[in-house]
Structure 1
Amino acid sequence: MPEKDKNNQEGPDVRGNLIKVNVGGDTIFVDSNQYKPQVEHAKKLKQQHRKPKNPKPQEWKSEEYSKHKIADYKPFNFVDGEGVRCSLYVSGCLFDCPGCYNLAAQNFNYGRPYTQELEDKIIEDMSQSYVQGLTLLGGEPFLNTWVCFKLINRVRKEFGHSKDIWSWSGYTWDELQKETPDKKEMLSKIDILVDGRFMDDLKDLTLQFRGSSNQRIIDVQKSIKANKVVIWDKLVR
C-alpha cells in the first residue's frame, strides 16, 4: 500500500523508491516502479496525438533560418532512393514531426559547415559509374536552399542529367507551388520529390522510400509539364 502523508506536510518529492504525487487533494507516496511507466505511457499517448507543424505559405524563409550546415554525408548507399546514391543530410527543420527518425538534424546549428572541400568530395564520389545520383534530405532541404543550390548546380555542370537528383521534403507539392521563389526554383531543378510530413499514425515500414502512407514519390519534371502531380512510374508500394 502507498504511504500517505495525512498531514499534507511538505516533504521530499522522493523517499527512497517512493514518489510524492497529489491525488484528489491528498499527498500520497507511490512506488516509482509503478508510477513512472504510467507517466511514460501518458507521454507516449500525448506524443501520438501531436501533429507536425503546418506553416502558412512563405512563412518560413530559408535565408532566415539556414546556417549552411550539414548533419551528415553518406556516399554509396542504397536506401535514399533508386540505385546507388550519394546522400547529403542538411541541418535544420521546422516541421517537428513526431516520430522523426533524425531528431538531431532538426537543429539548424547541428553538424558542420558546408564547404568546398565537401562539395568536391561529393562530386568525386558521384563520378563513379555505378552511382545513379544525388539525394538531398535532412533536416529540410527546402529550408537550406543556398547549400542545395550550390550542390545541384555543380552536379548539373559536371554530369548534366546523366545523374538524377532526389529530395525529401516535409512540404507537399501543392505547398511548394505557393512558396518563396528559391523553393520553387529548387523544385524545378530536381528529378524526384518525396513530399509531405512524416505522420506517425500513418507509419508503414513496407512502403518504398517513404515512412508514412501520406507521402508521395513524385516525378518532378513530368509533373511540371503536365501541371499536375505525376507519381514516379517505378513505384511498387
Structure 2
Amino acid sequence: MNKEVVFVLEPDFGRVTVEISQSTTNAVDDLANDFGRRVNVNCAKPAENKRHLPVLQPRYAPREQSGFDKFSIWLYRLYHNSVVDRPGRRSVVQVSGCSIRCEHCIVPPTHRKENGKLVSISSIVDEIVAHRDEHDGVTILGGEPFGQPESVAELVSRLKNHGFNVTVYSGYTIVQLIHLRLAAIDYILTQIDLLIDGPFISEMRDGAGEYRGSRNQQLIGR
C-alpha cells in the first residue's frame, strides 16, 4: 500500500498542515517534534478521539420555539478545520444514513440513520456562519447525502445564499444521480461547486489521488 505525505502551506497564517496516510502514531509524533508545536485537525475518521477537535451536535428546534425551522436533516456530526475533504480548510457536515454501505467503509457508524440526530438545518447553517473566518468552504459527506435529497438541497440553498463554496461526496456516480430524475438532486448538482462521486472500492484505493478514497471516484466541478 502506498504511503503519502501531503504538506499544505498557508503562508498568510504562518501554518503548515501535514497529512499522512497509512502511518504509525510514532511517525506522526516524530514529524511533529521536527516541526514544533502541533495542533491536530479533523478528518472524516480521526485516528483517536483525543486527536481531533470537538464536534457539534446541534439540537432540533422545538415547535413552540419562535422562528421554528421546519427543515431538518439527519446529522451524524458537524466539524471544522478539515484539510482532507476538498482543497483548503473546510467545515464538514457529515450526515447519517447510507443504503450503499461500501465494503471496508471507514465510517460504518454513519450507515444507520438512527446513529445520528435529527437537527434543524438552521442550527447547522448558524454554526457554519459563526466559523466562516476559519474555513474556505463547506463539504457535505456521509453516510450518503443523496439519501435525503430534499434536506440536502435546502442546506445547499442556504449555504450558497451565504456565498459558501460547497462540495458533496456521494457513493452514487453522477450518471446514477441524473437517472434518478429527482428535482432535489438536480438542484444540488447544479448548485454545488464540486461533486466527488462513486463508491469506495478498497481494491482501487492505491494511487487514488487527493480527496478521493479509490481510483474510480471522480472530481466533477462546475
Conservation of the 8 A alpha-carbon contact between 2:95 and 2:140: yes
List gaps (5 residues or longer) in structure 2.
1-71
**Higher deviation after alignment, 71-80 or 116-125:** 116-125
Match of 1:199 among 177, 198, 201: 201
**Higher deviation after alignment, 176-185 or 187-196:** 176-185
Conservation of the 8 A alpha-carbon contact between 2:208 and 2:215: no
Conservation of the 8 A alpha-carbon contact between 1:114 and 1:147: no
Match of 2:97 among 58, 74, 92: 92
- Say yes or no: does 1:123 pair with 2:129: yes
Q: What residue in structure 2 maps to residue 183 of structure 1?
A: 185
Q: What residue in structure 2 maps to residue 158 of structure 1?
A: 162
Other structure's SS at 1:68 match: strand
The alpha carbon displacement at 1:205 in A equals 6.2
Deviating beyond 4 angstroms after TM superposition, the runs of 4 or more aligned structure 1 residues are none
TM-score, structure 1 length as denominator? 0.59
Q: What residue in structure 2 maps to residue 75 of structure 1?
A: 80
The alpha carbon displacement at 1:138 in A equals 0.5
CA distance in 2, matches of 1:195, 1:177: 12
Other structure's SS at 2:115 match: coil
CA distance in 2, matches of 1:202, 1:218: 19
After superposition, the Cα gap between the structure-2 partners of 1:93 and 1:132, relative to the gap in structure 1 and judged at 3 Å, is same
- Alignment RMSD (CA, Å): 1.6
The alpha carbon displacement at 1:69 in A equals 1.1
Conservation of the 8 A alpha-carbon contact between 1:68 and 1:146: no
Other structure's SS at 1:74 match: strand
Conservation of the 8 A alpha-carbon contact between 2:201 and 2:214: yes
- Say yes or no: does 1:216 pair with 2:218: yes
The alpha carbon displacement at 1:121 in A equals 0.8
Conservation of the 8 A alpha-carbon contact between 1:97 and 1:199: yes
Q: Which has more radius of gyration?
A: 1
Q: What residue in structure 1 maps to residue 114 of structure 2?
A: 109
The alpha carbon displacement at 1:206 in A equals 5.6
Other structure's SS at 2:126 match: helix
**Percent of pairs with identical residues:** 28
The alpha carbon displacement at 1:107 in A equals 0.7
